[in-house]
Amino acid sequence: LNGRIAQVSFDMLAHIDSQDPPMAKRFKAIMT
């Protein structure tokens, strides 16, 4: 389950990273 959540988070990052809104930075902070 945890692996799936991480994969979904990375998937979302791939979508929003190009725009790089504050939410993307928040996801990066959570994942690192």
pLDDT of res. 7: 73
pLDDT of res. 25: 74
For residue range 1-32, what is the model confidence (pLDDT) as tens digits? 566 767 777 776 666 555 566 766 777 787 76
pLDDT of res. 13: 65
* Per-residue DSSP letter, 32: -
* Per-residue DSSP letter, 18: T
pLDDT of res. 28: 74
Measure the CA–CA gap between 15 and 1, rounded to whole angstroms: 21
